[in-house]
Chain A
Amino acid sequence: MSDASIPVLKLDHVHKRFGDYAAVTDVSEMFAPGELICVIGPNGAGKSTLLNMICGTLSVSEGSITFGDTAIDGRPPEQIARLGIARKFQMPSVFESLTVIDNLRLAGPAHSDDEWLDEMLEKIHLHDDRDVLAADLPHGKKQWLEIGMALAMKPKVLLLDEPTAGLSVDETRDTAGFLKELEGRVTVIVIEHDMAFVRELGARTIVLHNGSVIASGPFEEIENHETVRDVYLGRR
């Protein structure tokens, strides 16, 4: 999958219903290899549900999701992960009973050596916390550790659910820089509420409202989109 014109991930008329409640309605999107995409929208818009369906932790009610040329809807999360889709959850989901290095070791290749793991630790600024229990890390470092774990899987698609929640201004800026470095190499789909962060990324932005896509395009256009301003960003 090196041809940039072929989508790495394709959502085709995807729906998710919980009983009578429609959490996601008729979402169709295509994501190019190496593309950085932001997904924004008010709480309850269906953003996390969308990521949950992509990574297999929720089933698709209707429609299909294709990764490269492989249909992945209906597959269990471990199979989807093995294909190359990594996920960071909204709440930091690190293994608190394990050390930082063991968290990374589990996420990374089975034969990963210490040198490779140390490089990963450097990347996520956790080198000094190598043998610290994940439970003892502050919130921001847990966020970084989980991003590191997702990257350690060497994914083709990285799904990040609110990676900057609870981070300081400096940490948020670092995260933006870090994600921009990944652009062109890994397809990154980021759910965010922090508009300054989304603006900093300057990526294509998809806006969800009541489970449907109401706008999609460069963030500068989204910021001035009438409906988006009405339902989410507000008018200044």
Chain B
Amino acid sequence: MSTNDHKKPIRAVGKSWSLRPSTVIAIIMLALLAAMPTLVGGYTLSSYRDILLLGLFALSLDIFWGRTGILSFGHATFFGIGAYGMAIASIRFGIDPYWVSLAGLLFGVGLASLAALAVGYFILYGGVRGAYFTIVTLALTLIANQIAVGWSSVTGGDSGLIGVPPFSVFGYSFGSSTASFYLALGILAVCLLTALRIMHGRLGILLTAIQDNELKVRTLGYRTQFILLMTFVASAAMAGLAGAIYATGTGFVAPDLIALLLSTEVIIWVAVGGSGTLTGAVIGTFVVWQLQQKISSVSIAAWPIFIGSFFILLVLVFPKGLPAFFMEKLRLLGKREGADG
């Protein structure tokens, strides 16, 4: 009996760059962000750079959680590994400054990907899904955090590592706030538009189907564990990329980059923007960051209370995220006005 030859490469089904609403919103958002250096500079611009990279981190979580429905509560592990990988390679390995950033990037992203591959292989092929997956990944962050704190000869312990050089490639340094902002924006743009392109294609459809009924997808001939593992590794690699570039922007790494709080915050960013929307993850990061700035300026202690309460409200009132909530309200308003007219 010969193998049925019509199955099943995973490839995009889109015929061309179809401009779906989410892609249009992403392009408008990226264009507006590109104008940012003409409006602000210095410290503010550096803050926006960091938010872009945290937005990239949120996007990485959304690719996995939003599309597969499987929540990773340990995504800061991969962001932190990327950041620490870049810092350790830059500071400890004594690499030629000409190559140091690229080597650090490779090391950070590679480590994050390997960690996801090793952990993901056992849990995804072991059939761990749902809450159990969430708990395992949560434990992963705790372990990684302990390593970051305890292995002080390499990681710098509680103090972390200071002196990560600005990102440079072939001698060009992205040291200025404007250059590092555009570097972050460029990386975010490439990752976001690529993710949108891929998720609008066959892989996106397939991941949605896996979320609906994984066993059924397997009976159609798809190796779902492999597809989930590759998506998880890609998501972790993107988180590692965000972390590595983040470290070159701030110049230091500390254990809070690999901690449970950051793993929780990124879930909130994605949830606020609407999980599964991709662009929403970036928007959610900006919205929460703006709220954090405003509320912390009044009282730093008020922020954790606010974000906790806000998250409960989010789950109860607008579970699809703020943009979807407002779009739905606008749609209903338009409908009512149409009916009145």
The residues of A with any CB-CB pair to B shorter than 8 Å are 1, 8, 55-57, 67-70, 76-78, 81-84, 86-87, 89, 93, 95-98, 102-103, 105-110, 149, 153-156
* Partner pick for B4 among A76, A83, A87, CB 8 A cutoff: A83
Number of interchain pairs (Cβ within 8 Å): 88
Nearest A-chain residue to B6, judged by Cβ = A109
The answer to whether residues A83 and B3 also contact, given A97-B212, A110-B9 and a CB cut-off of 8 A, is yes
Residues of A with C-beta under 8 A to B47? none
Return the CB mask of B1-13 against A: 1 if under 8 Å, else 0.
1011011110101
Considering only residues 1-51 of chain B, those with a C-beta below 8 Å from chain A are 1, 3-4, 6-9, 11, 13
Residues of A within 8 A of B7 (CB): 81-82, 109-110, 153
Please name all residues of chain A whose beta carbon is closer than 8 Å to the beta carbon of B223 when the two chains form the complex.
78
Task: Give B contacts to A, CB under 8 Å.
Answer: 1, 3-4, 6-9, 11, 13, 202, 205-206, 208-209, 211-213, 215-224
- Partner of B1 from the list A83, A89, A93, A154 (CB cut-off 8 Å) is A83
C-alpha spacing A109/B202, complex, angstroms: 12
- Contact of B11 with A153 in the complex, beta carbons under 8 Å: no
| CB-CB nearest in chain B for A57 | B215
Contacts known (A69-B1, A110-B11); A81 close to B208, Cβ less than 8 A:
no
Minimum CB–CB distance from A82 to chain B (whole Å) comes to 5
Chain A residues with Cβ under 8 A from B213's Cβ? 93, 95
The smallest beta-carbon distance between A3 and chain B, in angstroms, is 12
Contacts of B220 in A (CB 8 A): 78, 81, 106-107, 149, 153
Chain A contacts for B8, CB-based, 8 A: 82, 110
Given A78-B224, A89-B216, A107-B220, do A84 and B4 touch, yes or no (CB 8 Å)? yes
A95 touches B208 (CB 8 A): yes
Measured CA separation A83–B221 after assembly (Å): 9
Residues of A within 8 A of B208 (CB): 95, 97-98
Find chain A residues with CB under 8 A from B217 CB: 106
Q: Whole-angstrom distance from the CB of B339 to the nearest CB of chain A?
A: 23
Task: Select A98's contact among B13, B205, B215, B222, beta carbons within 8 Å.
Answer: B205
Bound-state CA distance A56–B208 (Å) is: 23
- Asked if residues A105 and B1 are in contact (CB atoms below 8 Å), the reply is no
Are the CB atoms of B218 and A77 closer together than 8 Å?
Answer: yes
User: Which residue of B is nearest A1, CB measured?
Assistant: B1
Complex Cα gap A68–B209 (Å): 30
Contact A154 B209 (CB under 8 A): no
A120 to B208, CA, bound (A): 22
Q: How far is the CA of A103 from the CA of B206 in the complex (A)?
A: 9
Residue of chain B at shortest CB distance from A154: B6
User: Does the CB pair A97–B3 fall under 8 Å?
Assistant: no
Known contacts A77-B218, A93-B213; decide if A110 and B1 are in contact (CB<8 Å): no
Residues of A within 8 A of B209 (CB): 95, 97-98, 103, 106
Cross-interface CB contact of B221 among A78, A96, A103, cutoff 8 Å: A78
Q: Report yes or no: B11 in contact with A55, Cβ–Cβ below 8 A.
A: no
CB distance from B124 to the nearest CB of A (A): 14
B6 partner residues in chain A, CB cutoff 8 A: 108-110, 153-154
A68 contacts B1, C-beta separation under 8 Å: yes
Complex partner residue of A95 from B1, B3, B216, CB under 8 angstroms = B216
Given the known inter-chain contacts A95-B208, A98-B212, please indicate yes or no for A57 contacting B219, CB distance below 8 A: yes
Query: When chains A and B are docked, how far (Å) is the Cα of A76 from the Cα of B220?
Result: 12
**Contact status B218-A102, CB under 8 Å:** no
Cα A96 to Cα B211 with chains together (Å) = 10
Report the minimum CB–CB distance from A108 to chain B (whole Å). 8
Chain B residues near A69 (CB, 8 Å)?
1
The 10 closest A-B pairs by CB, nearest first: A68-B1, A81-B221, A109-B6, A77-B218, A95-B209, A95-B212, A93-B216, A84-B4, A82-B221, A78-B218
A98 to B6 alpha-carbon distance, docked (Å): 22
User: Given the complex, which residues of B lie within 8 Å of A156, measured CB to CB?
Assistant: 1, 4
Indicate if the CB atoms of B212 and A105 lie closer than 8 Å.
no
